[in-house]
Amino acid sequence: MSEFLDAEDAALLGASLAAAMLAAPGPDEADQALNDMGWPDLLAAAPDHGAAIAFTALGTTGSAATLLDDVVAHALGIPISPSVCVLFDASLHTNPAAPQPGDPRNLIEDNPYVLNGLVSSRIDRATTVLIAVDEFPGTEVAAVEAGLLREPGATGIDPDRAYRHLSAQVPADAVTPVEAEGSWEAAMTAARIALAYQLIGGARWMLAEARQHAMDRVQFGRPVASFQAIRHKLAESLVLIEAAESLAAECLRDPDPMKAALAKSLAGKAALTTATHAQQVLAGIGFTAEHRFHLWLKRMLVLDTLFGSARYLSTEIGRDLLIYGTVPRLIQL
Amino acid sequence: MDPETFRRDLGAWLDANADELTPPYDGIASMNEQMAHYSLVKRALYDARFGRYGWPESVGGLGGSPLLRAIVGEEINFRGLADPNAWTMIEVLAPTVIELASPELSARLVPPFLRGDEMWCQGFSEPDAGSDLASLSCRAVKTDGGWVVSGQKVWTSFIQYSQRCVLLTRTGEPDSAHRGITALLVDVDSPGITYSPIETMHGRLDFAEVHYDEVFVPADRLIGEENGGWQVAMDILPYERSTTFWHRGALLHRRFSDLVAQLSDSGDLSELTAKTVGEVFLSLVAFRSRSRDTQYRLANGQQLGVETSIDKILITSAEQQLFEAVRDLLPGVVEFDEDPEATMWRTHYLYSKAASIYGGTAEIQRNIVARRLLDLGPES
């Protein structure tokens, strides 16, 4: 964080953002509180570093604040606003009416536009949804009126309905091109780095819960933390989390689309692995609705699908390597 | 000198001297051939000055950041110019000797090591002290002008090529554990040292069992304090997991590139192949990112410690994943083929099995992470 804030200031900022998130009962209130605290200025001044701090806080607090819409809009060079939300790429199963997984951008010949992706809960109050449209050459950004896309019934697994699957068709005349300075690729890179931090924050929360439980829970006359099988699960979680954090920080130093995709993939792997291990360590209580663990598990599943799941991204990068036949060093001293 | 300029200059020099520096063998050579070529490359780098950066002037170096040493090994490994295991020894042993032995001793003994004229080895493990290193029993008894060492060591790599050995000995009571250990820098040709090579499952004589029978070691060969040998071992560990890991990571990256190039030529773009290749790459990049941070912490003078167990776990899983992928994606090559490339893959595949055993087993690393980084209290 040295180019932007020193470690101590970054930690203080992260703590105050987290406190604001925890004090806000829902996404609207959280968005409002973060706006009041200067989130738009933070994003403008230091898009990557600022998002890293804020998204880590989202992960550790479990907040459903809709900051991802702002990160994408900002990277596209479109003014951020609570009335603007984004149709996010996601790893979704294919149905005959939908485009391929991970790619909701699809222009069907003639009418209508087929939209398939995820939206945040901001769609409930937004007026505009930004979508990416495949044009030749490249991808362009367009806007659709949010009212056309609201599906009040949509639920999904997310505990706060923070992200929902949107699959819709809209007539071509409802899609308006938008002047965007930034590319969709740049927006995906920014989003993936931010999401990597949120996944890492969430993984750290789950690991801390599992660790504390292991220390407190006594069986056979000793804390279960003293058993090697438990210790190794927690150790493996920490190893993945630290690796993911390192790669995410590398993205802040020297952003690059492939690096960001790998960082998102590794953070997803760290979060999902930690969820599995933490649940096993928490055992019975971790399967109840009473313990908050399940909220994180569900959020992590959703975050993993956004802008490409851990598995999808690493497979796509594997395919790229096979196509080009060479392997970049990617990270240098 | 900034790392980027150094890398560029070094790369230009390596390219210009490729004829001399490229090994005369294909694939995997005998240890004699590898060691001879290692010395040649090390000497050439020394003479061209690149091999002296990152080492203090007191031992014949030119000073500068240890990052420069990481870069030298990286470029050597990316180009496949020398055996990374031989290279490991100087990076593991020399920094601690320079730091903890007397300045006169290191000024006298380190320069030939740096030039590639000499080799050192590391006498730590014993038949009854593997993961539990602090229970070692090879005894050093004080005598006139030095110590007399008697006992047995095992897994001593490269002793047949070595002039010196960094040896951990028991100087306290037998049950003094980590408090009663002393480190000595011993001449391998001292009377009383005998060794017999141990053949590994990949058909090499990588290491040996070593017997010390009343071996006299002069007093000035002390490294660190008397009974301070545990500190020496703990000081060595992070070096083992910083520069040398960066080098090994570069070798793995190169081998992964070889695999990808071969698969790419075959036109295999199947989902399963892409998935496997992508997962290996992710593990290699995860390690490389973590290791980059570690190199910078070392270069900034920060004390490296138990957190380097994370680096060890990451490189071990990347290495084993890589060579399992080779076996999966080039079916039959590891098991049956005989050309030099297949021999190379087979050797790497088999050697990768040791990665979770040497330098502290995978389980010991997880124990350290659990105890020291997660603060989980004592094991039951």
| Cβ–Cβ below 8 Å for A235 and B287 | no
Write down the pLDDT at residue A94.
Answer: 53
* CA quadruple B272, B310, B66, B109: dihedral sign: negative
Res A197: pLDDT: 98
**The domain defined by B3-118 carries CATH number 3.90.79.10:** no
Kindly state whether residues A32 and A91 are assigned to the same domain: no
Task: State both tokens at B168.
Answer: 């951990």
d(CA B93, CA A167): 61
C-alpha B90/C-alpha B42 separation (Å) is 11
Domain with CATH 1.20.140.10 in chain B: 241-373
Please judge whether B377 and A327 are an interchain contact, meaning their C-beta atoms are less than 8 angstroms apart: no
**Is A253 an 8 Å CB contact of chain B?**
no
- Do the beta carbons of residue B194 and residue B211 sit within 8 Å? yes
Asked if A106 and A35 sit in the same domain, the reply is no
CA atoms within 13 A on the CB side of B18: 8
The span from the CA of A86 to the CA of A213, in Å, is 39
The reply to whether A329 falls in a domain is no
3-state helix, strand, coil in chain B (%, to 5): 55, 15, 30
Side chain identity at residue B82, one-letter code? A
B55 in Cβ contact with B69 (< 8 Å): yes
Nearest by Cα to A274 from A264, A284, A285, A282: A282
Residues of B in Cβ contact (< 8 Å) with A203: none
My answer on whether A276 and A208 are in the same domain is yes
Query: Is residue A172 predicted with pLDDT exceeding 90?
Result: no
- CB B323 within 8 Å of CB B348: yes
- Between A137 and B256, the higher pLDDT residue: B256
What is the rounded distance in angstroms from the CA atom of residue B183 to the CA atom of residue B237?
14
- Among candidate residues A137, A160, A177, the one where a domain is terminated: A177
> What's the fold here for domain B121-227?
Butyryl-CoA Dehydrogenase, subunit A; domain 2 (2.40.110)
Confidence of residue A108 (pLDDT cuts 50, 70, 90): very low
Comparing A131-140, B15-24, B89-98, B305-314, the range with the smallest average pLDDT is A131-140
- Whole domain around residue A36: which residue ranges? 7-66
Instruction: Please list every residue in chain A whose beta carbon sits closer than 8 Å to the beta carbon of residue B71.
Output: 333
Is A125 an 8 Å CB contact of chain B? Answer: no
Beta strands across the sheet bearing A84-86: A84-86, A128-134, A139-145, A175-177
Report the SS3 class of residue A303.
helix
Domain total of chain A: 3
A248 and A295 assigned to the same domain: yes
Looking at residue A171, its pLDDT comes to 85
Position B204 confidence tier, pLDDT thresholds 50, 70, 90:
confident
Q: What are φ and ψ of residue A116, in 5° steps?
A: -150, 115
List the one residue out of A197, A195, A190, A269 whose CA is nearest residue B275: A269
Q: What is the pLDDT of residue A98?
A: 45
Q: Which residues belong to CATH 2.40.110.10 in chain B?
A: 121-227
Are the C-beta atoms of residues B220 and B104 closer than 8 Å to each other? yes
State the catalytic residues of B: 240
Separation of alpha carbons A258 and A319, rounded Å:
12
Query: Cβ of B121: how many Cβ atoms within 10 Å?
Result: 26
Mutation target to probe the B interface, by most B beta carbons within 10 A, among A231, A254, A269 is A231
Q: Does A323 contact chain B (CB < 8 Å)?
A: yes
pLDDT above 50 (res A169): yes
Percent residues over pLDDT 90 in chain A: 80
Say if residue A96's pLDDT is above 70. Answer: no
Residue A90 domain-assigned (yes or no): yes
Residue A208 lies inside a defined structural domain of this protein: yes
Rounded to an integer, the average pLDDT of A192-214 is: 98
**Under an 8 A CB cutoff, do B376 and A211 touch?**
yes
**CATH topology for B241-373?**
Butyryl-CoA Dehydrogenase, subunit A; domain 3 (1.20.140)
Which one of A140, A162, A177 terminates a domain? Answer: A177
pLDDT score of A143: 95
CA pair distance B362, B309, nearest whole angstrom:
9
> Which letter, b or e, does each residue of A61-74 get, where b requires 16 or more Cβ atoms within 10 Å of its Cβ?
bbbbbbbbbbbbbb
Three-class SS state of A329 = coil
Tell me the mean pLDDT in the region B225-244.
92
